[in-house]
């Protein structure tokens, strides 16, 4: 572990200057401050405060995820994390980030400068600058729904995609559906890839064929439904599993717009169980990600990493919530209606 003196020796400057640089004093130049911080990061320096066993200061960095009110995905994750952190007297800052912030400063420098001894990253993508830097960070960091190879300081927390998708497929199989479509989240995301694999495996283990023309990638907004639902129906789908409740709400609208009924003609299943799910018409059958538990688990994982326990993955149970948007497959009725509809569309 590098000391302030080590940094001073390396840079050939006074210990007091290093100290000023690390503590944000105003009487040194910005350039010198940056040099001190970069060198400190490079040498793996952590202040006494950051290493102390008592009150710790950590942050939740968040981008690309709504979290400001209780209906939004990130809200309860943050609540869960804070609940657990409070029991251990940790101080938690919630910081919205953006790509600009990430290009301006390195992740490790940002953490050191602000005295954070750990971070929980929500909504980040693998191609983000800070996530790329996680391959080499020494700051204990927990990623939601993303995994970094070969770095003991970084862990991944998420809901078990396999269990989640499997319960949905099994439920539809039990209802007699065979042509099941899957409207996934965005491409190039680890969790979308997991869910794709889970869908294919679950279909096969139910003895069903996963048809490539019934599997599409969308995005986590209702609007993406309109690009895929018509094709799914044309190709004979009687049920659609969606990667989020928001996507499912779009799918229900789109199916209804096409003159079909949910669940009588088409069954729809969501993912997440946001508060909106039970408010939809019909109330949405979905796979619950317990967001309070995700937040609590992220804390447990970060606590482990801070104490050098090399946990890399922590998965939570996915819970199937059976409401009213699925029904027994009446495939003949559907094929007929869809065929009529397709003919009308094509005329």
| Residues within the interface to a second copy (CB under 8 A) | 149-150, 152, 160, 163, 290, 293, 296-297, 300, 303-304, 307, 309-317, 319
Q: Locate 220 and state its tokens.
A: 């986590």
Q: Say how many C-beta atoms besides its own lie within 10 A of residue 131's C-beta.
A: 20
**Which residue bears the tokens 């729904």?**
145
| Shortest Cβ 296–a second copy spacing (Å) | 5
Cα separation, 184 vs 201, in Å, equals 15
| Nearer to a second copy among residue 108 and residue 290 (C-beta) | 290
| Shortest Cβ 311–a second copy spacing (Å) | 6
Cβ-count burial of 41 within 10 angstroms (0-12 exposed, 13-18 middle, 19+ buried)? buried
| Shortest Cβ 267–a second copy spacing (Å) | 22
Question: What's the maximum distance between 2 C-alpha atoms anywhere in the chain?
Answer: 83
Would you say how long the chain is, in residues?
347
| Nearer to a second copy among residue 75 and residue 81 (C-beta) | 81
The secondary structure of residue 283, as a DSSP letter, is P
Cβ atoms of 154 and 134 within 8 Å: the answer is yes
| Nearer to a second copy among residue 251 and residue 316 (C-beta) | 316
| Shortest Cβ 25–a second copy spacing (Å) | 36
| Nearer to a second copy among residue 126 and residue 314 (C-beta) | 314
| Nearer to a second copy among residue 29 and residue 308 (C-beta) | 308
| Shortest Cβ 76–a second copy spacing (Å) | 13
281 Rama class: left (phi>0) / alpha (psi -120 to 50) / beta: beta
| Nearer to a second copy among residue 160 and residue 193 (C-beta) | 160
The two beta strands, 180-184 and 239-242, are parallel
| Shortest Cβ 301–a second copy spacing (Å) | 8
| Nearer to a second copy among residue 66 and residue 293 (C-beta) | 293
341: enclosing H helix or E strand:
helix 331-346
| Shortest Cβ 80–a second copy spacing (Å) | 8
| Nearer to a second copy among residue 94 and residue 300 (C-beta) | 300
| Shortest Cβ 85–a second copy spacing (Å) | 14
Residues near 343 by Cβ (< 8 Å), separated by ≥ 6? none
| Shortest Cβ 204–a second copy spacing (Å) | 15
| Nearer to a second copy among residue 51 and residue 257 (C-beta) | 51
Cα separation, 167 vs 103, in Å, equals 41
Phi, psi (5° rounding) for residue 288?
A: -80, 130
Cα separation, 276 vs 283, in Å, equals 9
**DSSP one-letter string for 205-240:** HTT----GGGEEE--SSGGGHHHHHHHHHHTT-SEE
Cα separation, 288 vs 251, in Å, equals 18
């Amino acid at each position: 572990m590098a000391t302030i003196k080590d940094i001073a020796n390396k840079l050939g400057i006074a210990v007091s200057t290093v100290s000023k640089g690390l503590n944000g004093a105003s009487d040194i130049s910005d350039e010198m401050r940056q040099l001190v911080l970069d060198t400190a990061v490079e040498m793996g320096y952590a202040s006494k405060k950051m290493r102390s066993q008592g009150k710790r200061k950590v942050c939740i960095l968040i981008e690309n995820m709504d979290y400001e009110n209780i209906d939004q995905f990130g809200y309860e994750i943050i609540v869960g994390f804070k609940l657990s952190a409070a029991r251990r007297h940790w101080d938690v800052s919630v910081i919205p980030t953006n790509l600009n912030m990430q290009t301006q400063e390195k992740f490790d420098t940002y953490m050191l400068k602000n005295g954070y001894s750990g971070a929980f990253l929500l909504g980040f993508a693998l191609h983000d600058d800070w996530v790329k830097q996680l391959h080499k960070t020494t700051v204990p960091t927990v990623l939601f729904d993303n995994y970094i190879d070969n770095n003991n300081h970084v862990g991944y927390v998420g809901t078990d995609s396999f269990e989640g998708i499997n319960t949905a497929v099994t439920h539809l199989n039990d209802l007699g559906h065979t042509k099941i479509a899957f409207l996934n989240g965005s491409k190039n995301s680890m969790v979308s890839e997991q869910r794709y694999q889970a869908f294919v495996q679950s279909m096969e283990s139910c003895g069903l064929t996963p048809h490539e023309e019934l599997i599409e990638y969308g995005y986590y907004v209702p609007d993406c439904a309109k690009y895929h639902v018509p094709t799914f129906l044309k190709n004979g789908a009687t049920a659609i599993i969606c990667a989020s409740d928001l996507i499912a709400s779009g799918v229900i609208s789109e199916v209804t717009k096409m003159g079909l009924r949910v669940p009588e003609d088409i069954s729809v299943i969501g993912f997440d169980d946001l508060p909106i799910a039970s408010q939809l018409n019909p109330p949405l059958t979905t796979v619950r990600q317990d967001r309070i538990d995700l937040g609590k688990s992220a804390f447990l994982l970060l606590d482990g990493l801070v104490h050098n326990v090399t946990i890399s993955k922590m998965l939570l149970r996915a819970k199937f919530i059976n409401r009213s948007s699925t029904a027994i497959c009446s495939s003949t009725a559907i094929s007929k209606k869809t065929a009529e509809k397709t003919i009308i569309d094509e005329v």
